[in-house]
């Protein structure tokens, strides 16, 4: 299984990762604010992740880590 993690406190909620996810399993957490006051990105179904890392490549702040086969 692949694993996607976010450094939530550094996320500025731009949504670029959400827009490029081919499986549509990333969302901006509407019920959570990080230390900077933004709605951070989160994964809603880790098991559906294909490990393409498009989210990590798109992130301008390099806050996403994708581990394949964890």
- At residue 44, the pLDDT reads 97
Residue 2 pLDDT more than 90? yes
- At residue 4, the pLDDT reads 97
Each residue's pLDDT tens digit, 5-64: 999 999 999 999 999 999 999 999 999 999 999 999 999 999 999 999 999 999 999 999
Phi, psi for 66 (deg, rounded to 5) = -115, 120
- Cβ atoms of residues 18 and 26 within 8 Å: yes
Please name the residue ranges forming H helices in 1-70.
16-20, 54-58
From the number of C-beta atoms within 10 Å of its C-beta (0-12, 13-18, 19+), residue 70 rates as: exposed
Domains defined along the chain, listed by start: 3-67 (3.30.70.20)
């Amino acid at each position: 299984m692949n694993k996607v993690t976010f450094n939530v406190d550094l996320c500025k909620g731009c949504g670029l990762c959400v827009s490029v996810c081919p499986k549509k399993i990333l969302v901006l957490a509407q019920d959570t604010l990080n230390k900077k006051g933004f709605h951070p990105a989160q994964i809603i179904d880790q098991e559906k992740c294909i490990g393409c890392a498009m989210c990590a490549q798109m992130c301008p702040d390099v806050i996403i880590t994708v581990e394949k086969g964890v």
